[in-house]
Amino acid sequence: MIRISIDAMGGDHGPAVVIPALMMVATRRPDVRFKVYGRSEVVRPELDKFPKLAAITEFIHCDVAVRMDDKPSKALRHGRWKSSMWKSIEAVKTGDADACVSAGNTGALMAMSKFCLRTMATIERPAIAAIWPTLRGESVVLDVGATIGADAHQLIDFAILGTAMARALYGMDKPTVGLLNIGVEEVKGQEEVKEAGRLLREASMMSMGYHGFVEGDDIGKGTVDVVVTEGFAGNIALKTAEGTVRQISTYLRAAMSRTLMARIGAVFAKGAFNTLKEKMDVRKANGGVFLGLNGIVVKSHGGTDDEGFAAAIELAYDMTRNRLLDRIEADLDLFHARHPKSSLRPAAAAGDAIE
């Protein structure tokens, strides 16, 4: 049995999307159980539509809902201890749930997750990992925006976290890892990336195949299973790719409706276009995973529909099932046993990014 806590008030559509998504997951993953947090007057009516779902769900009313435009600091101030977002995270801390899913605003969710669950002992900063569809399948890309900037040791943390996630999700023994870099030779400023590369190569960990540097176009190729970068570049890469997919979809739609011949062709090729649409469906890879905390929190895209939210829940389910946290802790222990903290972290710890 896997128990997922759900913040029903997050996202652009709230319970109207969240509750049908739970029903989807309940059908596909029969041993799932839910704890749902939200305002009774909007969640109850939705839940009542699915008696089967209600039977495996515990609903807990919360007065406060964090708004999509609340700043993290404000959300923490007003929503701590009592909001549906906080309560769903807290359920993971108390052991009442194995993982938490929310479509609420990223900054608030990260701030509350850090405050409630705390980062793991040897991790300085959590990261947000995205699942990126590639020509070879899927890759894990992190950090995609938890913090800006990362030193060599934080990049190594990200590599360990991402590797554990790839192992938990894809059943790989030794995922390959690449450090995102730019191709220009002899450019100053990438010292932390170079240093991280050197350390990863030396570490030669059993659970990680360090590949070397990769460039932006390697992500979509699937050159490596785990792409490691700091959050600013990672976020820009992710959003740029999403924008490019939308751009090409627009071109394709326009091209296929412009002439009669094209429209006839589109009828014949309907099946093929559906295959393509599925490949390009960003909903299927929905879910930013917060890594490095003492608990699993998955952030769903705020604007997603029920299928997208279901994908985020299933991600949380799969990672729990495959003991993500145990794997992370084992890898961290192994790495730090060989590289005592004193030698690895000469500089003072960088401050947390989200205040």
Contacting its own copies within 182-221 (CB under 8 A): 182-190, 215-221
**Coil vs helix vs strand at 330:** helix
Q: Which is nearer to its own copies, 212 or 216 (CB)?
A: 216
Instruction: Please provide residue 351's backbone torsions phi and psi, each rounded to the nearest 5 degrees.
Output: -70, 160
Q: Pick between residue 15 and residue 287 the one whose CB is nearest to its own copies.
A: 287
- Residue 237: CB partners within 8 Å, gap ≥ 6? 141, 144, 180, 216, 219, 229
- Cis check: omega of the bond before 157, within 30 degrees of 0: no
**Binding residue for its own copies, selected from 52, 137, 251, 330, defined by CB under 8 A:** 251
- Site membership for its own copies, residue 235 (CB under 8 A): yes
Nearest to 105 by CA among 128, 133, 132, 81: 128
Tell me if 49 contacts its own copies by CB under 8 A.
no
- Is 231 near its own copies (CB under 8 A)? yes
For residue 12, give every residue at least 6 positions away whose Cβ sits within 8 Å of its Cβ, in sequence order, or none.
68, 103, 302, 303
The only residue of 12, 45, 77, 248 in contact with its own copies, by rule CB under 8 A: 248
Please work out the total of residues on this chain that contact its own copies, with binding judged by CB under 8 A: 74
- Could you tell me the CA-to-CA distances from 77 to 89, 110, 112, 147 in Å, in that order? 16, 14, 10, 21
Q: In the set 68, 236, 285, 344, which binds its own copies (CB under 8 A)?
A: 236
Specify the residue, 184 or 337, whose C-beta has the smaller distance to its own copies: 184
Residues 6+ apart with CB under 8 A from 153: 124, 196, 199, 344, 345
Residue 280 in tokens: 């390009």
Is 239 a residue that touches its own copies (CB under 8 A)?
Answer: yes
Confirm or reject binding of residue 126 to its own copies (CB under 8 A): no
Per-residue tokens: 47: 């839940």
Minimum distance, C-beta of residue 323 to its own copies, in the bound complex (Å): 29
Applying CB under 8 A, does 137 fall inside the site for its own copies? no
Q: Which stretch binds its own copies (CB under 8 A): 8-16, 85-93, 165-173, 235-243?
A: 235-243
| Ranges within 50-79 binding its own copies (CB under 8 A) | 71-73
The owner of tokens 């801390």 is 93
304 touching its own copies, by CB under 8 A: no
CB-side exposure of 121: number of CA atoms within 13 Å?
Answer: 7
Nearer to its own copies, 42 or 68 (CB): 68
**Applying CB under 8 A, which of residues 77, 198, 270, 341 lies at the interface with its own copies?**
270
Element (H, E) at 253: helix 231-258
What the block records as the tokens of 104 is 């609420």
